[in-house]
Structure 1
């Protein structure tokens, strides 16, 4: 049976792996020894009809462990390190907040990572409302646990990816660490009852713990997502491709960078903008404009540098091509989505943020 313990320093709930005598908090890095553990209901018995990316199920007499306490099985580490990803597609199905393209975005992103960038399927955690496993629903708790898992035990050479497609929002910041006075947020399925996930927590969970040699990319297709990872620098680029790095380090002096690793985020729009679906025709043909433009930039050969990627993404959204072309987008969407076309008139500009400044036109892009 799994145990839940509170961090001895910041009181964050932590799931204790079976047999462990202590655990390090992903938020404040304090080490907590076992004390007054609280039992957590075990997950339902393994069903052969459910799809699991984690290690093979135990015998029926053994309770299946929580997936987020264990590194996925897969091939031995390559000389270039391990690849690991968390993909969230939140459609808010059957609610007044329902979105059309988010689950399609998640499927497209997984297809891209597996087929273009050789991420092992066993190292990708998918969170969508389509999942039958309760641990794979994009609730606030499951998203938190997935983000903890993403960085847990990462080593130099590892490549990590976090993709989110869903609602984003803002809330008033009272600590003085936001340039515009607002925190950016991501909305899980249960945000109306459990609350949103705030950029400060995202930063503390998957940015600050990154050790030297580890690379994290976030692809965030949501409204108000420009600085949703709270990274210190934003690439402010005009329509001619000229750019400068805007300093978003908090005036309070709180460190929002990494522990030596590299964190870079592509987001769907600026903090004061909203993001769009590529089509309002039906739930079948829709995808997020930002996710679509990200994949198109790679498929059309623009994924050479970060500057070329950002320019290509913005151009795709501004020009709104007719039809879905490009290898991965075509093959995946033909199979899954039966075709579709982009609607025109999107008013959003994808953004690039990073933990350190760099020359966007000379730094090679890679996942």
Structure 2
């Protein structure tokens, strides 16, 4: 019988200038959902909860960078084929300048452990190498990242985003993305054939938004408030892993820390849990559309679904 394992992280950054209100509540809500609705075991052998609650300080459950990476290693290694894995993170996401010069935007997306000011942030590339690369390809991992700049948090190569009408569009951030950028260059130079638009199906919010973003990339200085999606240099698409990640917003957006029924919560965590509880048998594409609909009532952030391969989004969520 397949084993289910979960790592749930919530960081409020108590007593700092960066304090948040709802992240630990998010972790509690996710924990209850997995146990009550998806038959995950609450045993510490199967489920690890990390938070910066005072009682966790000095223990392996306090979400320092080192502890988070150790817990991730526990989650993704020593698993059997068919095991179902869950990873969720609610806290601050940010961006740091890319030291290697191999990101078109010049920045890496990050998450912020509780000790990030002393020991640094964890970059998207390091997250991918820690989470995705060691995985047994016969396991399925579902990730929820409810933080700012989370669209590329694990550098999964295929990114899907719903537009205002709920249509889900794809940005393939590797070979197809490069091809589309080259085609767009030809369009801007006046030599583009409309037949090439067959390759441009499922772009970020449609072709208009894509070319607007391309114009921004070509002609405007990129800064921390206006980043565009990047094309990863690594060939992550060849790894053959089974990973699905729901993220609270695009790389250039913030993820709301809000209140529902008087309790602080992350908007994305609340919307996704509500969506999954109301209809447990939804497909991945339906979940993304429903979560977008929930968020659009009050928030501008646009949720994303990122995948490690070209998967069928019409299949029902496996969790």
TM over 0.5: yes
List runs of 5+ in structure 2 lacking aligned partners: 175-229
List runs of 5+ in structure 1 lacking aligned partners: 1-77, 320-343
The structure number with the bigger radius of gyration is 1
CA distance in 2, matches of 1:236, 1:317: 13
CA distance in 1, matches of 2:231, 2:123: 19
Pick from 197, 200, 222 the counterpart of residue 122 of structure 2.
197
> What corresponds to 2:92 in structure 1?
167
CA distance in 2, matches of 1:351, 1:178: 20
CA distance in 2, matches of 1:303, 1:291: 18
RMSD: 2.0
Q: Would you say the 8 A contact 1:104–1:287 is kept in 2?
A: yes
Task: Check 1:316–1:251 CA distance in 2 against 1; reply closer, same or farther (3 A cut).
Answer: closer
CA distance in 1, matches of 2:281, 2:269: 14
> What corresponds to 2:75 in structure 1?
150
SS at structure 2 position matched to 1:109: helix
Q: Does 1:317 align with 2:317?
A: no
> What corresponds to 1:261 in structure 2?
241
Normalising by structure 1, report the TM-score: 0.67
> What corresponds to 2:201 in structure 1?
none
> What corresponds to 2:264 in structure 1?
286
Task: Check 1:177–1:209 CA distance in 2 against 1; reply closer, same or farther (3 A cut).
Answer: farther
> What corresponds to 1:113 in structure 2?
34
Pick from 301, 309, 318 the counterpart of residue 356 of structure 1.
309
CA distance in 1, matches of 2:273, 2:150: 18
Task: Check 1:214–1:259 CA distance in 2 against 1; reply closer, same or farther (3 A cut).
Answer: farther
CA distance in 2, matches of 1:113, 1:349: 24
Normalising by structure 2, report the TM-score: 0.77
Deviations 1:120-148 (A, max 9, x none): 11111000122634111111111010011
CA distance in 2, matches of 1:121, 1:88: 15
CA distance in 2, matches of 1:253, 1:151: 24
How much does 1:302 deviate?
A: 6.2
CA distance in 1, matches of 2:104, 2:42: 39
Structure with the greater relative contact order (CA < 8 A, sep ≥ 6): 1 or 2?
2
What pairs up with 1:1-367 in 2 under 5 angstroms?
A: 78=1, 81-122=2-43, 123-130=46-53, 132-133=55-56, 134-175=59-100, 177-249=102-174, 253-257=233-237, 259-279=239-259, 285-301=263-279, 303-319=281-297, 344=298, 346-360=299-313, 362-367=314-319
Kindly tell me the number of residue pairs found equivalent between the two proteins.
260
Q: Would you say the 8 A contact 2:9–2:88 is kept in 1?
A: yes
Q: Would you say the 8 A contact 2:146–2:269 is kept in 1?
A: yes
